[in-house]
Amino acid sequence: MANIIPFRAIRPIRNKASLVGSRSYIQYSEEDFQQKLSSNPYTFLHIITATYGWANSKESSHTQRYSAVRNKFQEFMAKGVLTQDESPCFYLYLQEHDHIKHLGLIGAAAVQDLENNVIKGHEKTFEKREKLFCEYLESTGINAEPVLLTHERIPELESIYGKYINHRPEYEFTTTDEVVHCLWVIEDKADIDYIRKAFANSVNLYISDGHHRSASSLRLAKKTKRKNPSKDFFMSIFMDFDQIDIYPFHRKVVFDNVCETEGLMNLLIARFSVRELDRAPNIENQGIINLFLSGKFYEINLETTEKSRFDSKGLDASILNQFILEPFFDSIQKDVSEHLSFIPGKIPVHNICSEIASPEEAAFFLAPVTMDQIKVISDKGQFLPPKSTWIQPKLRSGLTIYPIFEE
């Protein structure tokens, strides 16, 4: 059912792969970001932040920025840091940290499958962000961050994947965050055809990370007049459901004064069953939201049923937004978005609480949603609330680059 194709990736030469691949630039502190740029001439950050350091970089237009990205990319190509494979390939990618492995296949998915609902999303996208990234793709002609698409286990693929994993990878390196990265190139035509057929016979694909990237690719395919097949696909990494880890996003709320925190507690007690805890909770049970406020933990029982949690409105994050945060801030005539921030659920509870320094600050801890919930809600055509999932693994930019306008 799913139409996926191999492509001629532009990627680092073998002895530069560990130096080129980078995290998203927004994941670096300003100090670490500057250190990366100054100490590593090969990092992909030089390409995606090509206007960094310009005297007027903040005033430069999108066109100028995208042109600078394109120029820096071409410079890396001219220097031989990046090179393009001669024939279309799939790429098998493995990431390992703390003995936990994530294995997936990098290829290209059809934008048409977004329209015909073979590829399903669970997150609303914003038109402004879609247009901005569409403009970036059109101007630079490259895509260096694959969309994460998940699917039911496809047993036929396991023998193919196993054949490659037992051989030396094209890339094998460890990054400073202690993550091991391996990549194998699948260029055998028989193996490529077998993989494509396995996906064509499979069930739906689900977007786990990259809703705006995929929507922007669809927008570009519809917009551009250029007739070439590559624009009708977008780079993706395909993973079994059991190859990803789903974490929640916790919520940090900053109030203007202690009276507001007292008002919040009054709202909670009036609407829900609330009890104080004598120790830090385990954040694992849905239907329970835990609150940390003024040095104490509270358990908020939402009294939802298992069935209700397979509907978007019954999710813990939806209830927190609709029945707690939004009505409270509406009651004091303030915008909740100005007081709210999101914290990835992989960060330990005690680390988050140690940053809650004043009685005007609070943290709401949510249990993660499951892949089964995401599937059912996506199949219904519903959407999860914003910032519902934080997905592992996080992929490096620049290890495989998709040429959008290749004939």
CATH topology of domain 249-367: 3.30.1760
Residue 55 confidence (pLDDT) above 60? no
HSE toward the beta carbon, residue 346, CA cutoff 13 A: 8
What is the pLDDT averaged over residues 95-108? 96
What is the pLDDT averaged over residues 344-351? 94
Instruction: Supply the CATH classification number for the domain 4-245+392-403.
Output: 3.90.1530.10
* Residue 342: strand pairing partners: 251
CA 135 to chain CA mean position, Å: 20
Q: What is the mean pLDDT of the chain?
A: 92
What residues does each domain of the chain span? 4-245+392-403, 249-367
Residue 332 confidence (pLDDT) above 90? no
| CB atoms closer than 10 angstroms to residue 343 | 19
End-to-end CA distance of the chain: 25
Residue 166 confidence (pLDDT) above 60? yes
Bond from prior residue into 6 cis (ω within 30 degrees of 0): no
* pLDDT tens digit sequence for 286-306: 999 999 999 999 999 998 998
pLDDT grade, residue 54 (50/70/90)? Answer: low
pTM of the model: 0.92
Least confident of 50-64, 202-216, 286-300, 302-316: 50-64
For residue 405, what pLDDT is reported? Answer: 85
